[in-house]
Amino acid sequence: MIAIEADGRAIQAKEGDTILEALRREGIHVPTLCHMEGLPPSGACRLCLVEVEGAPTLTPACSFPATAGMKIKTRSPKVLDARRTIVELLLANHPDDCLYCNRNGKCDLQKLAQDMGLRQRRFRGSKAHMDKDVSSPSIIRDPDKCVLCGRCVRVCEEVQGVSAIDFVKRGAQTVVGTAFEGGLNVSSCINCGQCIVACPTGALSERSYVEQVVAELADPDKLVVVQHAPSVSVSLAEEFGLKPGTDVDGKMVAALRRVGFDRVFDTSFSADLTIMEEGSELVHRIKNGGVLPMMTSCSPGWIKFVEEFYPDFIPNLSTCKSPQQMLGAVIKSLFAQREGFDPARIVSVSIMPCTAKKFESGRPEMGRQHVADVDYVLTTRELGQLLHMFGVDLKAMEPESADTPFGERTTAGKLFGASGGVMEAAIRSAHFLITGRELADLKLQPLRGMQGAKELRVNIDGLELGAAVVSSLGQARKLLDQIRAGRKDLHFIEVMTCPGGCINGGGQPLNADIEAVRSRMQALYKIDQDEAVRVSHRNAYVMRLYDEFLGKPLGETSHRLLHTHYAKRDVVL
């Protein structure tokens, strides 16, 4: 540790700390728009300027190392004036539409202006104007609201390894855009929405389907069914000011009924169904010399990533649809038959932590006879908006249970919301499918946690099963390149598009820090610890679904409804 002085107070810094890291550890707030935790500093926004004794100019705290004996001023008149001027210059070229902006109340630029007491405009002039990019089924870009902080560019390139967007042009003409200034729909974008989470303003947002869902709820001729993903119940609370990681499953079900949904189902049910199909597919490949390692297909951003960047690995992908699409298919087939309803008159809505699910639901493979498995996808944020719009106070709801049969789940299905959860659930059931016995210890600790890459070796009756888990597509790239280079010790690979898994998806509540994401993950682990049925093959309603309708895993009916195919895509680079 080294001693430095900040605003006249002695504090400690770690060797190698930047000034910003040292100050934040001591609870001294320094504003920034460009800084991203865990990535090298870019120093783009200059809002973190501080005064260092002996330095000829103000110093960017995010990129300057703390040194012993350093004396820093974080709130001198010179510092405060520089920060105010930077924010005022950003506002001078920013649209005056805060009341209509989707980030109103959650905008970092708006908060900076409030914190600095800016109440009038000092700088005026012509403003740049560019058209919105509304080409993507998942993400809308509004370049007029971009402050060139670079966070979206960095997360797309350095975390996800996709590089769909970058800085283009030069000087005062610089903007963030796609290759050849095309739409996101023809770029390499995989729709993950991590750019939305990173963006400090309203320059990036999800394509909203709230208005369409509201219209469907008001139509008496439609049966409107909703499913909610495993991670939504442990993240929605934050939209209502509750502690991160609070599980509001029962309250959310009650709120969805209050809004007017005719049936409320749990996607964790079809996560259990996915395990039965995917686990059986893995066992079949191992026993019959199929393509290995098999790779999960639950995360649609990952699927598009493979189709675009690694098409030679398409045969390795599980043919299983994602849990969202599996439940959508069952709703539009078995459920429609039993309810005596034309599938075309059933409106299937899903609540997801993921913007890529909007893209997935529109894929032509995800439906039959021109009827989509899932009609509308709302993010966790959009669900919060819908409940606020209908005046539903989530905190005041009395918990209710989801509708049977597709509301019953095991904790294995619930674990799908966290990185490693699909693998943990799959190994639990694969062990049973191979040996006929339950795994002795259902908690697979090596697969848990926020690490970007995790591995496990498990012996199942003499079969040494090599399993790998990665989250973020940057981590996926590293593993795929190892396999291309000849690595052969893996049988099964789980990939989640977003760092940490669905709990940190592109559709989750904004402005959440890493501790909030960890709290969501721990909430899922607690559910798994506390409840009785922890393996997918013990879901009685899933077994009943096979007995009465699907036949058997990998059978003709289940293959027609629950499996799909993928193909190589051209990429604009």
Q: 90-206 in CATH: which number?
A: 3.30.70.20
What's residue 572's pLDDT?
Answer: 54
Q: Measured at the alpha carbon of residue 119, what is the angle toward residues 115 and 121, in degrees to the nearest 5?
A: 120
Distances 302 to 67, 416, 473, 480, 561 between C-alpha atoms, Å: 43, 15, 7, 12, 21
CA 142, chain centre distance (Å): 21
Q: How far apart are CA 201 and CA 545, in angstroms?
A: 46
Question: Helices 267-288 and 421-435 meet at what angle, rounded to 10?
Answer: 50
Contacting residues for 333 by C-beta, under 8 A, at least 6 apart: 343, 561
Backbone angles phi, psi at 230, to 5 degrees: -55, -35
State the amino acid at position 528 in one-letter form. D
- Which candidate, 422, 326, 400, places its Cα nearest to that of 366? 326
What's residue 493's pLDDT?
Answer: 98
State the amino acid at position 157 in one-letter form. E
Whole-model pTM above 0.85? yes
List the domain boundaries for the chain.
2-75, 90-206, 211-562
For domain 2-75, the CATH architecture is: Roll (3.10)
pLDDT tens-place string over residues 403-436: 999 999 999 999 999 999 999 999 999 999 899 9
Contacting residues for 242 by C-beta, under 8 A, at least 6 apart: 248, 394, 395
Write 80-86 long-range contacts (CB < 8 A, 24+).
80/116, 82/46, 82/49, 82/58, 83/31, 83/47, 83/49, 83/116, 84/116, 84/118, 86/45, 86/46, 86/47
The beta strands (E) that lie in 63-150 are given as 71-73, 139-141
Look at phi and psi of residue 447 and say left if phi exceeds 0, alpha if psi is from -120 to 50, else beta: alpha
What's residue 476's pLDDT?
Answer: 98
pLDDT tens-place string over residues 274-328: 999 999 999 999 999 999 999 999 999 999 999 999 999 999 999 999 999 999 9
Say if residue 293 is preceded by a cis peptide, omega within 30 of 0. Answer: yes
What's residue 555's pLDDT?
Answer: 95
Contacting residues for 567 by C-beta, under 8 A, at least 6 apart: 307, 314
- Say which CATH class 211-562 falls into: alpha beta
Q: What tokens were used for 215?
A: 């219209």
Low-confidence ranges of the chain (pLDDT < 50): none
| Residue 23 contacts residue 30 (beta carbons within 8 Å) | yes
Active site residues: 278, 281, 298, 318, 357, 360, 365, 502
